[in-house]
Amino acid sequence: MSLFSWLRSKVTPVTPTFNARVSGFWQWYIEVAPRFLTTIENGRCASLTGETSRKVDEFFPGMSWVFGRGAGGHGHSFTLTGEGNLNRQLLTQQWLAQAPTLEGWTFHAARQPDRIKGHVIEMGGMRFDPKEIWVTTALNAERECLDLTVWHPLWEKIPDSQRTTITFLFLDEALGEYGTEWWVGRVDYGRDKLGEAFPLEELADHVDTAVRERGWKKFPPGQSLTLYRTKGRTIQDFPRADVLTQSTAVPGLFREFVGSMGELTDPLAGFGADYVYVSIDRAFFPAGEEVAALGRIEDAIERTLTLAASGRCIGGAMGSLRCYSDFLIFDGPRSLEIIRQTLRDFHVPAGTTIEFFAREKRAQRIIL
């Protein structure tokens, strides 16, 4: 083996950051957009499936996408969807924030509501029309949503998984990706109260009425905070074990991190983005003012990350021993340097760290 071949074999491939992936995707889409528009206008949309899927998998492995109608019925749209996975939904929001303005195109970071009347799903040789799927709703006041009972004459002939797939394909189409998460609670499959049922194709109107009459309000993924209180621990037998209160825009991240005792498998693997947190000795902050003082540091970091389109704050925590600020970063070393420099500007104490939530990247921690 030659020296150069040996060196190449020892080089670890660099994973592109999420921002680099987004940039690469948009460079490609700008090039193909006119051709894609003409192809779709000529009724040959299906011919673009293979090419588009390959590019999406290249930049955002495993994510789903769809073409659709453009805003106001003009032109066409391209949607990159996290399919209800909050980690991926936050990534598609970042992808959309970098979208160019292209003639004839609208872009979305989640599936949009659309008409399902006349749409039919065929599965296992059986045909499912939304006008033949019957829905009964029940008010769930506590969660501000509607619980559904869904029935079709063929339900008993197919597995539970297929009933669920068919139902949620129609729900996502009728209510949109966010709408399904916001307004649909429990879903059962049966004949309960069929006398009060109506066709699934009318569900969107029923949901709109319920939301309007009750003044329900929901927020896009990552735009609201959930507060947790725990007993905490005085012994750090796993990272952040001392947490007493946690405020987070990504509840699953906190629950899974604690549930795994810090051994969290990277939820953003393959995308070039990371969940990280800053850990600061609680004694650094004035007693009784820890939350406000930590908040000033978080705000400064988030402002700088936002200006660079490199990340965002997703929450923070108070522990008995340390204080924590959580971030989603999109630009790898560049994002980490922004956080590190801002911490230095606040003269945080020696021993302050920038940590990765993912156990696979724990060795990449930064110690100030």
- Over the stretch 102-126, which tens digit does the pLDDT of each residue have? 999 999 999 999 888 888 999 888 9
What average pLDDT does the segment 234-255 reach? 90
Domains of the chain: 3-108 (no CATH), 121-214 (no CATH), 226-367 (3.30.70)
- Of 232, 309, 317, 239, give the one whose Cα is nearest residue 273: 309
pLDDT of 27 higher than 50: yes
Strands 145-151 and 184-189, how do they pair?
A: parallel
Confidence of residue 7 (pLDDT cuts 50, 70, 90): very low
The Cα 246–Cα 231 span in angstroms is 11
Amino acid in position 241: A
pLDDT at 12 over 60: no
Q: Write out the DSSP string of 55-70.
A: HHHHHSTT-EEEEEEP
The CA-atom distances, in angstroms, between 197 and each of 174, 189, 190, 207 are: 17, 13, 11, 14
Helices (H), the chain: 3-10, 18-41, 49-59, 86-97, 160-183, 203-214, 251-259, 290-307, 332-345
Nearest-angstrom CA–CA distance, 330 and 327: 10
CA nearest neighbour of 297 among 273, 323, 331, 333: 323
- pLDDT of 13 reads 54
The pTM score is 0.90
Q: How confident is the model at residue 187 (pLDDT cuts 50, 70, 90)?
A: very high
pLDDT 10s digits, 267-308: 999 999 999 999 999 999 999 999 999 999 999 999 999 999
The pLDDT of residue 193: 77
CA distance 94 to 97: 5
User: Cα Rg for the chain, rounded, in angstroms?
Assistant: 24
- Written as one letter, the residue type at 228 is Y
